[in-house]
C-alpha cells in the first residue's frame, strides 16, 4: 500500500509504503478509486487552526499522531472484509463516510457523530485517502453511489456534505425568503447548487471575486454582489434575509452575515478561515439572532445527499483528475488559490 503521509507538520507529504492492512472485526478494506483534495487537508498538514488573537488549536492537542495519511473525500471498492462485517460483499463500491464518531457516547448512539467529543475522523485521526487502500471501521460507512463516476462522487463526502448540512440547519423557508451565501468557493458553490433541493428561498451570493460571482449566478443564485455593494443588497433583501451561511469564516464575513439577517434569522458559520469576532451583545436578544456552527455532516445526510445527486436533479461540481503522485503539487495549487472545482487524486 502506497500512502502520501504527513510526517512532520508544515512539511511536504512523504510517500510511505506499507503492507495492505487486514480488516479486523467489522472493518472493511477499500481499494481507493478517488480522493478529493480539501482545504482542511492544508490545515491538517500545517498542524493547526488559527483561532484569532494569536491563539491556535493544534492537531497534536486534538490527538492526531504522526505519521498519518490525510484525505477524507474517498470513493472505492471493497477488497477485503473483517469476520464480523455485515451486509457487504467484495466488489461493493461507495463513498466512504469519513466523519466517524467513537460509537459509544450519547451523541454517537443518536447518530450525531459530528457531535462526538472523541471522533475518529478518517484523514485526521485515522488514516485517510491519499493512498491506494484504506481501512474503514464499519461497512455501514460505505454509501453506494450507483453508476456515478467515482471521481465525481468523491467530493460529496466533504465539500458537498458540508454545504448540504449547513442548508439543512436553516429552518424551513418560503419562496419570498432569502438565503445569503457568503463566499462562492467550492463549498459555497455547492451550497448554491444544492439549495433548491432543501429550500424554497432564493439565494443571494456575496463574494469579492467577480468571476466567482458569475459562477454563482450560473449555478442558480438569483443575485450576486460584492461585499461593498451593501446598498443594493439591502434593497433586495428588505427587512433582512432568513439566514446567511458564512462559507469563509473570517470576522468580516460573519459580521456581514449578522448584519443582513432579519429578526429571528440564523447565521451559520461553516468556513474555517480563522480569527475572532467582536459583536454587540444587546442585538442578539433584541433581534433573537441565532448564531450557530455547522461542521461537515452526518451519515444520514450523506445518504440523503447521494440520493439527490444520483437522481440527476442537481448539477455536479466539476472535478480535475490527477495522479495520486501529484498530491503535494495539488495541495500547493490549492493553497495558492489556483484551483477551479475540485482536484481529485487517482491512485495508479
Q: Which residues bind Zn ion (CB under 5 A)?
A: 38, 40, 101-102, 105, 108, 116, 158
Using the minimum distance from each CB to Zn ion, give the nearer residue, 101 or 185: 101
Q: Are 151 and 102 in contact (CB under 8 A)?
A: no
Q: How far is the CB of 111 from Zn ion (least distance, A)?
A: 10
Q: How far is the CB of 73 from Zn ion (least distance, A)?
A: 6
φ/ψ of 325, rounded to 5, equals -60, -15
φ/ψ of 171, rounded to 5, equals -60, 160
Q: DSSP assignment, residue 17? A: E
CB under 8 Å to 214, separation ≥6 — which residues? Answer: 224
Q: How far is the CB of 115 from Zn ion (least distance, A)?
A: 8
Cα distance from N-terminal residue to C-terminal residue, the chain = 11
Q: How far is CA 48 from CA 58, 117, 124, in A?
A: 4, 18, 12
φ/ψ of 113, rounded to 5, equals -65, -25
**Burial class, 83, CB count within 10 angstroms (exposed 0-12 / middle 13-18 / buried 19+):** exposed
Q: How far is the CB of 342 from Zn ion (least distance, A)?
A: 10
Among 51, 190, 187, 42, CA closest to 124: 42
Using the minimum distance from each CB to Zn ion, give the nearer residue, 101 or 137: 101
Q: How far is the CB of 276 from Zn ion (least distance, A)?
A: 23
DSSP string, 120-167: --BTTTB--SSBSEEEES-GGGEE--TTS-HHHHGGGGTHHHHHHHHH
CB under 8 Å to 34, separation ≥6 — which residues? Answer: 73, 74, 75, 76, 150, 151, 153, 154, 321, 344, 345, 346
Q: How far is the CB of 116 from Zn ion (least distance, A)?
A: 3
Q: How far is the CB of 23 from Zn ion (least distance, A)?
A: 21
Q: Round to whole Å and give the CA distance between 166 and 295.
A: 8
Using the minimum distance from each CB to Zn ion, give the nearer residue, 108 or 299: 108
Using the minimum distance from each CB to Zn ion, give the nearer residue, 297 or 347: 297
Q: How far is the CB of 108 from Zn ion (least distance, A)?
A: 3
Amino acid at each position: 500500500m502506497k500512502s502520501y503521509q504527513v510526517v512532520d507538520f508544515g512539511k511536504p507529504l512523504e510517500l510511505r509504503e506499507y503492507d495492505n492492512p487486514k480488516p479486523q472485526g467489522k472493518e472493511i478494506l477499500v481499494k481507493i478509486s478517488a480522493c478529493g483534495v480539501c482545504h482542511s487537508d492544508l490545515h491538517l498538514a500545517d498542524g493547526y487552526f488559527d483561532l484569532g488573537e494569536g491563539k491556535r488549536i493544534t492537531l497534536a492537542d486534538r490527538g492526531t499522531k504522526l505519521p498519518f495519511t490525510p484525505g477524507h473525500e474517498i470513493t472505492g471498492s471493497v477488497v477485503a472484509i473483517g469476520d464480523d462485517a455485515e451486509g457487504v460483499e467484495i466488489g461493493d463500491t461507495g463513498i466512504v463516510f469519513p466523519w466517524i464518531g467513537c460509537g459509544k457516547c450519547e451523541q454517537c448512539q443518536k447518530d450525531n457523530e459530528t457531535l462526538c467529543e472523541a471522533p475518529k475522523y478518517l484523514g485526521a485521526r485515522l488514516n485517510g485517502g491519499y493512498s491506494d487502500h484504506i481501512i474503514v471501521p464499519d461497512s455501514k460507512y460505505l454509501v453506494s453511489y450507483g453508476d456515478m463516476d467515482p471521481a465525481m462522487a468523491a467530493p460529496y463526502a466533504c465539500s458537498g456534505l458540508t454545504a448540504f448540512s449547513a442548508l439543512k440547519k436553516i429552518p424551513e423557508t418560503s419562496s419570498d425568503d432569502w438565503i445569503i451565501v457568503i463566499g462562492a468557493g467550492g463549498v459555497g458553490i455547492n451550497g448554491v447548487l444544492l439549495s433548491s433541493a432543501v429550500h424554497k428561498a432564493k439565494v443571494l451570493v456575496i463574494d469579492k471575486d467577480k468571476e466567482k460571482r458569475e459562477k454563482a449566478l450560473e449555478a442558480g443564485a438569483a443575485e450576486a454582489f460584492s461585499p461593498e455593494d451593501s446598498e443594493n443588497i439591502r434593497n433586495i433583501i428588505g427587512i433582512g434575509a432568513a439566514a446567511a451561511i458564512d462559507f469563509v469564516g473570517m470576522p468580516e464575513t460573519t459580521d456581514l452575515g449578522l448584519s443582513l439577517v432579519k429578526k429571528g434569522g440564523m447565521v451559520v458559520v461553516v468556513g474555517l478561515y480563522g480569527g475572532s469576532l467582536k459583536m454587540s451583545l444587546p442585538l442578539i436578544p433584541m433581534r433573537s439572532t441565532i448564531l450557530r456552527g455547522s461542521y461537515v455532516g452526518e451519515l444520514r445526510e450523506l445518504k440523503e445527499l447521494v440520493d439527490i445527486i444520483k437522481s440527476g436533479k442537481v448539477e455536479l461540481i466539476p472535478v480535475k483528475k490527477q495522479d495520486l503522485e501529484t498530491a503535494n503539487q495539488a495541495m500547493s495549487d490549492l493553497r495558492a488559490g489556483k484551483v477551479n472545482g475540485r482536484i481529485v487524486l487517482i491512485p495508479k
